[in-house]
Amino acid sequence: MEKEVTIYDIAKELSISPTTVSRGLNNHPAVNKNTKQKIIDVASQMGYRSNTFASKLRKQRTNTIGVIVPRLDSNFQSCVMAGMEKVANEAGYNLIISQSLETVQKEIANARTMFDNRVDGLLVSIAYDTENIDHFEPFFSKGIPVLFYDRVPEHKKCTSIVIDNIQAAYKATAHLVEQGCSNIVHISGNLKVNVYKDRLKGFKYALMDSDLPFSESSVITTNLNEEAGIQAAKQILQMNPRPDGIFVANDNCAVSCVKTLKQAGVRIPEDIAVVGFNNDPITRVIEPNLTSVDYPGNEMGEVAVRSLINYLDGMSDVSLTNTITLRSELVVRESTTRTGATGAVAP
C-alpha cells in the first residue's frame, strides 16, 4: 500500500518547516503568497490529502450530524431529508442517516453507532414502538444536543419540532362535518405516539364542538399501512349504520381504504367522504383525488438542522426552547367535496 503523504514530506521537498507547510495549507496570513502557492502546488503533485477528521477531533467538532428516521421509504421523510441536506450542506456539515425500521431495538443500535461516531448532534423521529428514550442518555450526559421532530417524546433537555396535530385533525374533522357528515370514523395509528394521540384529540374536539357524539367504536387503531387500510374498509362496510365520513391519520392507509370501499360499490364522496394526512403525491393519483392535511416536510428538515447548528455555534440552547410548532393546512379535493355543502375548496 502506498504511504500517505504528510506535511513533513512536503516540508522536506521544499526545505521549509512543517509548521510553515501547515500554515500555508490553512491559508494563514503569516505565510507569504508565493510560498503559500508553492506549498499548494507541491502538495497537489505529491497527492497530499488533508486529514480533516483528525483536525476536527482536535477542535472537538466532526461537522457531522446524525439523523435517525423510522423509514426512508416515506414521501414525508424524503422531504424532511431534502430540507436537512440543504441547510447542512450550506453550513459545511455532513449528515449520517440511519433508519430504525419502526423498531426501538434498531433505534437503540443506531443511537449507539451515532454516539460512537462522535456526531456533533442528533436529529430523531422515534420508532413506532419507542416508549422511553433512555438510549439517548449518553448524548444528554455529554451535552450533545438531541432534537426530535414529527414523532417526539416529552423531554426537558430536548427541542421538539412538530406541527399542531390537534389543530390539523380538528380542521380535517370539521371539514367533514361541513360537508354534511354526521357519523365519522377515525383510522388512527399507535396512540402512544404523540402524532396519533394528538390527531385523535383533534378529532374528538371537532365532534364535541359540532354537537356530534363520540364513541370508542368510531376509532380504528391500526399500523396505518396499505393492508391496514383494506382491513379498516372491510370493518367499516360491516358497520350499521354505515359511517358517512372517514378521517385517516395518513395518506397511504387512506388511499387503500378508498380503493377497497370503491370496489365494494361505495361512492366517494357521495356515500362516504374521506380525508387523509400528509398530502403525499399519492393523493393526486387516486380517483377521486384525496383531501389531506399538508405537512411541511422540507421546512421541518430545514428548521431542525438550523436549530441544531445554532446551538452548536452557541447562538441558542436546545434545552430552553421546548417546542417549535410549524404551520399546516388542509388541502381540499374531490374525496370530500359534496354538491351543495359549505366547505371551501383549497387548490
Is residue 298 within 8 Å of 76, Cβ to Cβ? Answer: no
Distance CA 237, CA 164 (A): 31
**Cβ-Cβ contacts under 8 Å for 231 (sequence gap 6 or more):** 222
At the top level of CATH, which class does the domain 62-162+297-327 belong to?
alpha beta
pLDDT score at 347: 36
CA distance 331 to 151: 22
3 state SS of 79: helix
Asked if 261 and 230 touch (Cβ cutoff 8 Å), the reply is no
3-state secondary structure 136-193: HHHHHHHCCCEEEECCCCCCCCCEEEEECHHHHHHHHHHHHHHCCCCCEEEEECCCCC
Domains 7-50 and 165-294 share a fold: no
Q: What b/e string do you get for 264-287 counting C-beta neighbours within 10 Å, with b at 16 or more?
A: eebebbeebbbbbbbbbebbeebe
Instruction: Look up residue 344 and give its amino acid.
Output: A
Query: Which run of H or of E encompasses 273?
Result: strand 273-278
Residue spans of the domains in the chain: they are: 7-50, 62-162+297-327, 165-294
Q: Are strands 159-163 and 184-188 parallel, antiparallel or unpaired?
A: unpaired
The CATH class for the domain spanning 165-294 reads alpha beta
171 touches 208 (CB < 8 A): no
First to last CA, the chain: 61
Yes or no: say if 187 and 224 are a contact pair by the CB < 8 Å rule: yes
Q: Does domain 7-50 have CATH number 3.90.1570.10?
A: no
Radius of gyration of the chain (CA): 26
Q: H/E/C letters for each residue in 33-63?
A: HHHHHHHHHHHHHHCCCCCHHHHHHHCCCCC
pLDDT tens across the length of the chain (347 residues) = 457 788 888 999 999 998 898 888 888 888 898 999 999 899 888 878 766 545 554 456 788 999 999 999 889 999 999 999 999 999 999 999 999 999 999 999 999 999 988 899 999 999 989 989 999 999 988 888 999 999 999 777 778 999 999 999 999 999 999 999 999 999 999 999 999 999 999 999 999 999 999 999 999 999 999 999 999 999 999 999 999 999 999 999 999 999 999 999 999 999 999 999 999 999 999 999 999 999 899 999 999 999 999 888 877 665 556 789 999 999 999 999 986 554 443 43
At residue 60, the pLDDT reads 65
Contact at 8 Å (CB) between 235 and 220? yes
Place of cell 445554532: 310
pLDDT at 1: 47
